[in-house]
Amino acid sequence: MTSSPESSSEKGSEKAPIVDGAAHAWVVNDPRFPIVADIATCPENLPDWDESAGQLLTRMGNYGIDQTVISHVCYYGRDNRYSAHCVQTYPDRFTGVGLLVGHRLHSPADPENPARLERLMREDGLSGLRLSPIYDPDVVWMNDPVSYPLWKKAEELGAVFNIFAAPHQVEQIGDMAERFPGVNIVVDHFAMIDITKPDSEGFGPLLALNRHPNVYIRTSLHNPSRMELPFRDMWPYLERAYDAFGPRKLVYATDYELLVMKDMIPFFTAQDREWILGRNAVAIYNKN
């Protein structure tokens, strides 16, 4: 992903890119990329259908999406080869974040983790990792000192860490954002806030992350929403996040959310949409 993050007002008439902030990709019958239950992080929920790079490209064409960030799927666990294959085969269309550390993956205390991250980025061409402390709700490892070497290496490499966290884990994100300001952090799925609960139990701490210049929010309105498309119960929360973080700190994801963010949200300006729908993702995940 090499497009410039400059706005259209700075680049004349150049079209702003549309970038899907997260999609999964996998194949079930390709012997080069086997899905193995023993290393999957979701062994109870393995697929019997494909969501291949080719299928993603077709859908991207249907929706006018220029590029996609592949979030390495749980089916492959720590085997990042298919995501790497997608990125290496279509470098102008895909970038990606892999899985290495956490639930059913390598232990956060494993001293080989920094070297694994370096190989994943330098050799496989990925932009960083997805860390999912949400699957370990009662174990604190993301901001445990055993994780510091991995984050230090991430700073050296310019890595991106997508964080899939539960609301009670949001303060751990803030701790690591402050300790490692050179790591871009994208908080996935609005940190899975429960919109039926008071701000103090999730959304308030999430908004407080706006003080960290390296923290971004991936909106994914469908996850916290209790409604069908276009997820109108999440619009007030999106507006508050927009007010707190600004348009240059939000990233949309999924093709159906693109339609909501592009055509329906009333408080975005045309320039806001350029950033949220693509320019932010290019700036965050561009490794060059």
Please spell the DSSP secondary structure of 203-266, one letter per residue.
Answer: HHHHHHGGG-TTEEEE--TTTT-SSSTT-GGGHHHHHHHHHHH-GGGEE--SHHHHHHHHHT-T
* Alpha helices, DSSP H, located in the chain: 53-63, 81-89, 113-122, 148-157, 170-179, 203-208, 235-245, 255-263, 270-274, 280-285
Is 158 domain-assigned? yes
Is 144 domain-assigned? yes
Q: What phi, psi does 122 have (nearest 5°)?
A: -75, -40
Is 104 domain-assigned? yes
Q: Can you give the residue range of the structural domain that contains 234?
A: 19-285
pLDDT score, position 7: 44
What's the whole-number mean pLDDT along residues 11-16? Answer: 70
Is 1 domain-assigned? no
Q: Report whether 210 contacts 244 (CB < 8 A).
A: yes
What's the whole-number mean pLDDT along residues 146-167? Answer: 98
Domain count, the chain: 1
Q: Report whether 28 contacts 218 (CB < 8 A).
A: no
pLDDT at residue 10 greater than cutoff 90: no
Distance CA 271, CA 247 (A): 9
Q: What predicted TM-score, i.e. pTM, was given to this entire model?
A: 0.94
* CA 282 from centroid of its chain's CA atoms: 12
**Closest to 36 measured CA to CA, from 69, 73, 70:** 73
pLDDT score, position 14: 81
Is 14 domain-assigned? no
Q: Report whether 255 contacts 262 (CB < 8 A).
A: no
Q: What phi, psi does 252 have (nearest 5°)?
A: -85, 165
pLDDT score, position 5: 44
Q: What phi, psi does 286 have (nearest 5°)?
A: -70, 115
Is 212 domain-assigned? yes
pLDDT score, position 4: 43
Is 3 domain-assigned? no
Q: Which long-range contacts (CB under 8 A, 24 or more apart) does 8-13 make?
A: 8/271, 8/274, 9/271
pLDDT digits (tens, 9 = 90+) for 48-91: 999 999 999 999 999 999 999 999 999 999 999 999 999 999 99
pLDDT score, position 1: 59
CATH number at residue 214: 3.20.20.140
**Closest to 189 measured CA to CA, from 161, 216, 222, 213:** 222
Is 206 domain-assigned? yes
